[in-house]
Amino acid sequence: MQLAELQSHFKNALLKSEDDAVAPALREDGLAKARRLDVYRNNVFSNLSDALASTFPAVEALVGEAFFRQMCRDYIRFAPPRVACLIYYGDDFAAFIRSYAPAASLPYLADMAAYEWAYNHAYYAADDQPFDPSVLETMDDEVADALVLGLRDSATVIASDFALDQIRRYTQHPDSEPPSMERTSFRLLLWRPEREIQWRELSDAEFASLQAIQNGKSLADVITVAMHHDPDMDAGVWLQTLFSLNVLRDHNNGGSDL
């Protein structure tokens, strides 16, 4: 049996309980083959579930440990780690929860997972250079209008119909007043400009403009989108705010200067 084949059979045994294919490669040595695989299997699910619990503590608090552990086991079978470093595990946990039938009665749960993943992503994101707005002074208006900027690697724009910040705060302080679970408009920018994670609530126009930046729109188009959502918005002030927040990526560091 080739190594790659053995590894594939071993993975299927651990994640899918398909033991027969790998059994010939195992020795008992005083412990039955099935029991030996159970030990490995339990360690894998336990360790990966612990990693997910560390990244998604509010999700666990909302559903309880037993439900969370079962959801983790189902997720691990569905999406085992793709890289060795577990700080990057769980990037699609929110998407999994959205289609997870046992959680269907908790419409805010997947959004909470996305919210917590944004914190995890911001914390571990690579350091990159912010956009230097002084370069605009060297451009004529046509070139500046066509400029395509990007959000820094640590930045995530979050949208939900629930007040995720209040819900998350309640899971951290359960003796406080319970948050409202009524639907609302929650728009948030979360990023790490330097060493500390920052967040800012967004208006609909601000949120739409950041989505336009994410979608690779030109600076002129970004302003047009913002003004469409709020004709009274001072787009120039908003751009200056984005520059001061250091949330935009250097156009020479992954963006483009069309």
Rounded mean pLDDT of 105-118?
Answer: 97
Q: Which of 21-35, 117-131, 230-244 has the lowest mean pLDDT?
A: 21-35
Q: Is residue 160 part of a domain?
A: no
Q: Which of 106, 124, 142 is the endpoint of a domain?
A: 124
pLDDT of residue 69: 97
pLDDT of residue 63: 97
139 and 62 in a common domain: no
Residues 10-57 have pLDDT tens digits of: 566 667 665 565 666 666 676 666 667 777 778 888 999 999 999 999
Q: Is residue 177 part of a domain?
A: no
2 and 34 in a common domain: yes
pLDDT band at 257 (very low <50, low <70, confident <90, very high): very low
Nearest to 192 by CA among 163, 234, 229, 156: 156
pLDDT of residue 10: 59
Q: Is residue 180 part of a domain?
A: no
199 and 133 in a common domain: yes
pTM of the model: 0.85
User: CA 5, CA 28: separation in Å to the nearest integer?
Assistant: 21
134 and 73 in a common domain: no
Find the domain containing 27 and state its range: 1-124
100 and 24 in a common domain: yes
* Per-residue pLDDT at 207 exceeds 80: yes
112 and 141 in a common domain: no
What is the 8-class DSSP label of residue 15?
Answer: H
In the chain, the DSSP E strands lie at 150-151, 156-160, 186-191, 198-201, 248-249
Dihedral sign (CA 34, 40, 43, 48)? negative
Rounded mean pLDDT of 163-191?
Answer: 93
143 and 61 in a common domain: no
Residues 138-153 have pLDDT tens digits of: 899 899 899 999 999 9
82 and 5 in a common domain: yes
77 and 18 in a common domain: yes
Q: Is residue 175 part of a domain?
A: no
* Per-residue pLDDT at 9 exceeds 60: no
248 and 136 in a common domain: yes
Q: Is residue 168 part of a domain?
A: no
Q: Is residue 74 part of a domain?
A: yes
pLDDT of residue 26: 66
Give how many domains the chain has, as a whole number.
2
